[in-house]
Amino acid sequence: MKSHLVFIPFSGISHLRSAVEMAKLLVDQDDRLSVTVIILPSRFGDETDSSAYVAALSVAPNDRLRYEIIPGGDQQNAEPTWIDIHIENQKQKVRRAVAKLDSSTLAGFIVDMFCTSMIDVANELGVPSYLFYTSNSGALALAFHVQKMYDEKKYDVGELDLDNSEDELVVPFLSRPYPVKCLPRLMLSKEWLPIFVNQSRRFREMKGILVNTVAELEPYVLESLSSGGLDTPPVYPVGPLVHLENQVDDSKDETKSEILKWLEEQPAKSVVFLCFGGLGSFNEEQVREIAVALERSGQRFLWSLRRPSPDVMKERPGEYTNLEEVLPEGFFDRTKERGKVIGWAPQVAILANQAIGGFVTHCGWNSMLESLWFGVPTAAWPLYAEQKFNAFEMVEELGLAVEIKRYWRGDILVGAADLVMAEEIERGIKQLMEEDSEVRKRVKEMSEKCHVALTDGGSSRIALQKFIEDVKKNII
């Protein structure tokens, strides 16, 4: 019997790409399964970040995988709303889109971690909802743990001092205490915490949770989630879902070619790559500290440097028109034989290049998975959201990364961050680029496990098949 799933990802490009890879995987695994991906408008009213990607999806022929694009309408000139309000505002449009589908084969909704209010639409149709969690199972377990503490009156934001506290939380899914300083800033915000707590409550309404992780990567966390201590739905580790296809808009092809040509001229594993995601940027003082560290380190480098936005919640970082204005005087002349500063970066193509020996990253989960996939060790420099947790897990729990700095104040989404000094950055880069380090060996081993997980009989394939079997039961 045929089964049809409705997939509702968040509009952010990292969420959207992961969701599309998940949808492709589902239809590839079972020819009786079809998926409609409903692409919501951006809450920023700015689609430039994903427009080329969405356009490429729309022309890709596949009878069992289709895309329904919901236009933003008059939202294009509107102020960005809170995430939960924005998603709530899309529910009627989603109802209309789903009404076009064959209801007799509808087996359920798969909703993004930020789209939990779409459960209401699924409930109206009498079909179950599943969660697609784009980060790791550790961050998921932390969300459940904080929500449970909050509901039991054991978690009070007013009593937590993120910037100065030496307090630690004992959590059931980590092998060591978790520093309060490493909690995501939004979990300590009186404005944002209720949204995240409610989000976790709605996670518990799901029939199952697909997580973009690998069983071999987070075994302790997954064991804790499956043991029933956190009272969660079944979790299916189906990753790593890595977007490897070459889809670059024409305006960036020339830039990509130039970058890859430069990398081809560098020795194997000799270049440290610095890139901080779609929202990652630094003020001029921090830029100069990074530049001094790179110059002192003596390492070859490829640095993706973006111009900061006045308000990152309303406008994404852009490109510098004159890099010499923000870099130390003479920097380009002194480093031209071993370094290259760029704006936008084709991250996957760069990480896949044999010249890359290390990756200084903001610890976005997609970036962490991409680095593991290509066996590139990372240096953690988290900037926002759950990235401080990701850094803690990769450095402290798993030994798969080195750190730039153990703790620092700030989050670029809610305010300025502490200045990280050149000495700290230089030390982290040198540690990252050590040839025979234990971290490098562990990353290589985990990379092999990630590849095996996606083969027939691998852990992620087995988890995916269990999920598909559950879906099919919904319409039998």
Rounded distance between C-alpha atoms, residue 108 and residue 119, angstroms: 10
The mean pLDDT of the chain is 89
β-bridge mates for residue 358, sequence order: 272
Q: What percent of the chain has pLDDT over 90?
A: 67
Q: Nearest to residue 112, comparing CAs of 241, 43, 206?
A: 206
| Burial group, residue 103, by CB count within 10 angstroms (0-12, 13-18, 19+) | exposed
What tens digit of pLDDT does each residue of 230-253 get? 789 999 999 999 988 654 455 578
Same domain, 383 and 465: no
Which band of pLDDT confidence, cut at 50, 70 and 90, is reported for residue 298? Answer: very high
| pTM score of the predicted model | 0.93
* Structural domain harbouring 146: 3-244+454-473
| 28 has a pLDDT exceeding 90 | yes
Q: Are residues 298 and 174 in the same domain?
A: no
Q: Are residues 264 and 231 in the same domain?
A: no
| Mean predicted confidence (pLDDT) in 430-442 | 97
The rounded distance, in Å, linking the Cα atoms of 52 and 37 is 17
Higher pLDDT, 316 or 303: 303
383 and 461 in a single domain? The answer is no
What pLDDT shows up at residue 270?
A: 98
How far apart, in whole angstroms, are the C-alpha atoms of residue 167 and residue 189? 17
User: With 70 as the cut, is the pLDDT of residue 172 above it?
Assistant: yes
Q: Domain of 304: which CATH number?
A: 3.40.50.2000
Same domain assignment for residues 433 and 468: no
Tell me what pLDDT residue 466 has. Answer: 97
Residues 306, 236 share a domain: no
Say yes or no: 228 and 281 in one domain. Answer: no
Same domain? For 305 and 333 the reply is yes
* Highest mean pLDDT of the ranges 10-24, 145-159, 217-231, 361-375: 361-375
How sure is the predictor about 49, in pLDDT bands with cuts at 50, 70 and 90?
low
196 and 321 housed in the same domain:
no
Instruction: Specify the number of domains making up the chain.
Output: 2
State residue 444's pLDDT score: 98
Query: Average of pLDDT values for 277-297?
Result: 93
pLDDT tens digits for range 63-116: 899 999 998 765 444 555 678 888 999 999 999 999 999 888 999 999 999 999
Per-residue pLDDT, 162: 63
| pLDDT tens per residue across span 328-364 | 999 999 999 999 999 999 999 999 999 999 999 999 9
State the pLDDT at residue 311. 72
Q: Would you mind telling me the total number of residues written for the chain in this entry?
A: 476
The answer to whether residues 144 and 40 belong to one domain is yes
Per-residue model confidence (pLDDT) at position 44: 62
Q: Is the domain of 418 the same as that of 388?
A: yes
Eight-class DSSP state of 131 = E
Same domain, 263 and 374: yes
192-220 pLDDT, tens digit per residue, is 888 889 999 999 999 999 999 999 999 99
